[in-house]
Amino acid sequence: MPISNHARTLVLTASLSLLSLYVLPLWRIDLLAPQYPEGLGMVIRANTIVGRSPNDLQTINDLNHYIGMKTIDPGAVPELRIMPYAIALIVLLGVGAALSRKRWAITAWLGLFAVAGLAGMVQFWRWGYDYGHNLAADAIIKVPGMAYQPPLIGTKQLLNFTASSWPAQGGFVAGAAFIAGAVAVWLSGHEARVAARS
Amino acid sequence: MKISRQTIAGAVAIAAAGALLFACQTTQPKTQSSLVGGDAAQRVYVAPGSYDEFYAFLSGGFSGQIAVYGLPSGRLIKVIPVFSQNPESAWGYAEETKPMLMTSYGFIPWDDSHHPELSMTDGVPDGRWIFINGNNTPRIARIDLTTMTTTEIIQLPNSAGGHASPFTTPDSKYVVSATRFSVPIPNADVPIASYKDNFRGTLSFVTADQPGKMDIAFQILMPGFDYDLGHAGKGPSDGWFFFTSYNSEQANTKLEVNASQNDKDFIAAVNYKQAEQCVAAGKTRTFPSRYAHNVMDENTHTATSTMMTSVKMLDPRDCPGAVYYLPTPKSPHGVDVDPTGEYIVAGGKLATVIPVHSFTKMQKAIADKAFEKEIAGIPVLTYEAVMAGEVQKPGLGPLHTEFDGKGYAYTSMFISSEVVKWKLGTWEVVDRAPTYYSIGHLMIPGGDSKKPWGKYLVAMNKITKDRYLPTGPELFQSAQLYDISGDKMKLLLDFPTIGEPHYAQALPASMIKDKQVKFYSLAGNTNKWVTRSEAEGGITRSGKRVDIKMIAIRSHFAPDNIEGVQVGDTVYFHVTNIEQDWDIMHGFAVLGAENSELILAPGETRTMRWMPAAPGVYPFYCTDFCSALHQEMQGYVRVSPAGSNVALMANISKKAESQMSAPKAPTKK
């Protein structure tokens, strides 16, 4: 049977809401230290990384050179070139699946969404691992056994900095869209089972 | 009972000692405990992490600078270099800053700065700029209140002793100045005793509302009196300016006695709108005059000095209605206009009253032509016709008056060392507070504006003596902070000040605190020798001139190994601090330079000149603790004998190396 209007609207709304990811930031990393009462931060957008305040990214790179961390250059992160297309694909497939009213379509779309999201998080973790562990051999400050991988999500103390990593507005929108999609899939499955029993 | 002689002698001795002690105590001065409010400590304590309520700007007097204090804590938070060289910050030492101190007399490394004046809009301080005068070489400086740096200085020609300066009109269209010392105008070789015939004074109206474009709109030639202080009218008296003058006796020697003879001197009342009309109608003379106009450009970080060649000079005889004299007892010092603009209060420093003129009565006296005489074509109004009232027996030596906006005036009394509070309109004294000691000027935030903020009063004194731990024969000047929010003044705090504050201004911290520039934009830096990255650094030679372009960043200079300099060269280090982060300064100093250090704000470029005199290797280093590895922030310059073949070398990236000029002779290591 075709999916109900509720399920269709949910998938449609969820897909279209992902368009906001072109405008809203996806993720944020914030740094607090005693000599930075005003704080520093990075904001990850679909196609770039910028500082929370202008010049924050340059300041973070300047500070990172003491511990031998690579310079964070948005141009050198391939995911930032792929993500805008990936978002477009998920939006279009979602709209298509919703309009097709086919249960397998929206389920497949949800699966693709989950894979994309998971892949994004895995890449983010690997990027954090690479930058945090592969430090320059002649780093000025060497703390034995210390690595500077930022938390994937949450808060962690890195020398004099308290680093926090959390979704930004776009991240929350994507999360809400996924939940809406999951509800739609469950709803359509539930309706199908109810229909099969009757 | 038998009382022995010893007992009687002892009792008399004890009684005598007791009587003496009692007598001594009654002649002790009153203690300060009644004056100091009970919660004074709490009122002036600014807890760690909190901020003061007001920025206060106090003139440095003979230091030539402006000092910034927080109120109510009285803490010194900055000294802004204005007219005096400051080796700590390279003001007047770094090549880019030297033009700021140029004058028609040449480069002058010092002045005497007296009166800070905040820029105003609608008669109220607006937080854009603060102006201050140079007394010895008459000049007016503009300080930008978002960077707290001196950005413009204009010299005043045909002037000696720029004391009555600078005072702003309510819209800061003009800042106005008057001369203390009369001299021949134009200056000439004449006998000093010919003062009465040859010596004149001038008033200068300087347009000030456009940064970088200060200009003398016109000068007014005045009789040879000493003009002391001034203030603009406001409200109904907007369009008028008032200057006190003393030495109407026109003495040129032993003024102490000879200028104190006349019972009354004058306040010059200037209708500058009338003067503007006369200027526009071409009634001025173009007076050849040489004076410097110096501007610091925030983007090039470089100052330029332009020598101007003439001013428009107006003679009051050619402009009836522009200037009047109001008789004022006796050698008056301060002239202060109350917030309503109606009352013009004079501090007659030798007078036994505080005279107050009425603007309304002055207008009427002019209309009725109530003139007692004329001086050089300037009508002198009769005292009784313009007087609003006199504060009787206020104290000894009245100098300056400011207002709290609640109908009260506060006048400083130098000789009786006190502040006197009196009521406008009734002229009665309602309170007195001693100052420690011999107060000169007092300041209430906004106290000379249309809407005083009130709350506090700062007394700036001339005698310090025992107020603080003594420090040899020369002591810092003392200042006291009073609470004037109630009926009676309460002493809150005693704090020392740098130089000698003559005058001060204050505004609420909230007006400018969040507008402070945190660093200069490196992308916007258009200094001729800016170095934005390591690759742009290097060394070039042009005859005996060598230019080294260098960056400073935590924690290294680049280049930091430099060779090819020779004895007899004039070397310019152009250092750019390429940080773009708040409060990350770098310094630069090199061994053997007859110069100060450089201190660079983030994004700033500054140049130091060095003329090495002997061959050798000379270290340079960062002088401002910038980072954990500040101690590693250093470099070396190799100086070879004149005419040597050592190649120019600066250790930067390969790409930049190719941009260096090739040595003239074949290289030989």
* Residue B29, pLDDT score: 38
Q: Is B628 near chain A, with CB under 8 Å?
A: yes
What is the per-residue pLDDT for A139? 84
What confidence score (pLDDT) does residue B396 get? 87
pLDDT above 50 for A60? yes
Taking 60 as the threshold, does the pLDDT of residue B574 lie above it?
yes
CA A94, A98, A100, A106 torsion: positive or negative? positive
pLDDT > 90 fraction of chain A, expressed in percent and rounded: 72
B552 interfaces chain A, CB cutoff of 8 Å: no
DSSP character at residue B346? E
Residue B274: per-residue pLDDT: 97
Residue pLDDT, tens place only, B495-507 = 999 999 999 999 9
Mean model confidence pLDDT for chain B:
92
Chain A: residue nearest B519 by CA?
A55
Q: What is the mean pLDDT of residues B434-448?
A: 95
Cα angle B572, B578, B579; round to 5: 140
Using CB atoms, pick whichever of B555, B581, B628 lies closest to residue A59. Answer: B581
- Residue A160: per-residue pLDDT: 84
Chain A residue closest in CA terms to B584? A59
For residues B240-254, give the mean pLDDT: 95
What would the pLDDT profile of A85-115 be if each residue is shown by its tens digit?
999 999 999 999 999 999 999 999 999 999 9
- Please say if the pLDDT value at position B26 is more than 70: no
pLDDT at B530: 96
CATH code, B44-515 = 2.130.10.10
- Judged by CB atoms closer than 8 Å, whether chains meet at A66 and B553 is answered as no
pLDDT classification of A44: cutoffs 50, 70, 90 = very high
Q: Does domain A5-197 have CATH number 2.60.40?
A: no
Q: How confident is the model at residue A16 (pLDDT cuts 50, 70, 90)?
A: very high
Q: Least CB-CB distance to A140: which of B553, B581, B629?
A: B629
Q: What is the pLDDT of residue B655?
A: 46
pLDDT at B1: 54
Fold for domain B534-657?
Immunoglobulin-like (2.60.40)
Closest CB from A38, A55, A62 relative to B553 = A62
Question: In this predicted structure, what is the pLDDT of residue B137?
Answer: 97
What is the rounded average pLDDT of the residues A20-49?
Answer: 93
- Give yes or no for a contact between B375 and B201, defined as CB atoms under 8 angstroms apart: no
For residues B108 and B134, what is the distance between their CA atoms, to the nearest angstrom? 11
Q: Break chain B into its structural domains and give their ranges.
A: 44-515, 534-657
Are B580 and A55 inside 8 Å of each other by CB?
yes
> Is the ipTM of this structure higher than 0.85?
no
Regarding pTM above 0.90, the answer is no
Query: Environment class of residue B24 by beta-carbon count within 10 Å: exposed (0-12), middle (13-18) or buried (19+)?
Result: exposed
Residue B210, pLDDT above cutoff 60? yes
Beta strands in B272-301 (DSSP E): 285-297
B628–A55 CB contact, under 8 Å: no
Give the pLDDT score at A141.
81
Q: Tokens 């230019």 — which residue?
A: B547
pLDDT tens per residue across span A17-28: 999 999 999 999
Contact between chains at A55 and B581 (C-beta distance less than 8 A): yes
DSSP assignment string, B485-525: SSSS-EEEEEEEESS----EEEEEGGGTGGG---S--STT-
Element (H, E) at B6: helix B5-26
Reference B346, options B305, B294, B383; nearest CA is: B383
pLDDT of residue B667: 37
Q: Do domains B44-515 and B534-657 have the same CATH topology?
A: no
Q: Is there a contact between A59 and B554 if contact means CB atoms under 8 Å apart?
A: no
A58 touches chain B (CB under 8 A): yes
Separation between Cα atoms, residue B217 and residue B276, nearest integer Å: 9
pLDDT at B657: 40
pLDDT digits (tens, 9 = 90+) for B300-325: 999 999 999 999 999 999 999 999 99
So what's the pLDDT on residue A34?
83
Residue B612 has pLDDT above 60, yes or no: yes
Instruction: Look at residue B589 and tell me whether its pLDDT is greater than 90.
Output: yes
Domain ranges within chain A, ordered by starting residue: 5-197
A134: contact with B, CB 8 A cutoff: no
Say yes or no for a CB contact (<8 Å) between B628 and A66: yes
Query: Is B107 within 8 Å of chain A by CB?
Result: no
A35 min Cα distance to partner chain B (Å): 10
The residue among B484, B442, B444, B440 whose CA lies nearest residue B464 is B440
Position B17 confidence tier, pLDDT thresholds 50, 70, 90? low
Q: Is the pLDDT of residue B62 over 80?
A: yes
Contact A58 B580 (CB under 8 A): yes
Query: Does the pLDDT value for residue B28 go beyond 70?
Result: no
Distance CA A43, CA A56 (A): 10
Chain B residue with CA closest to A36: the answer is B582
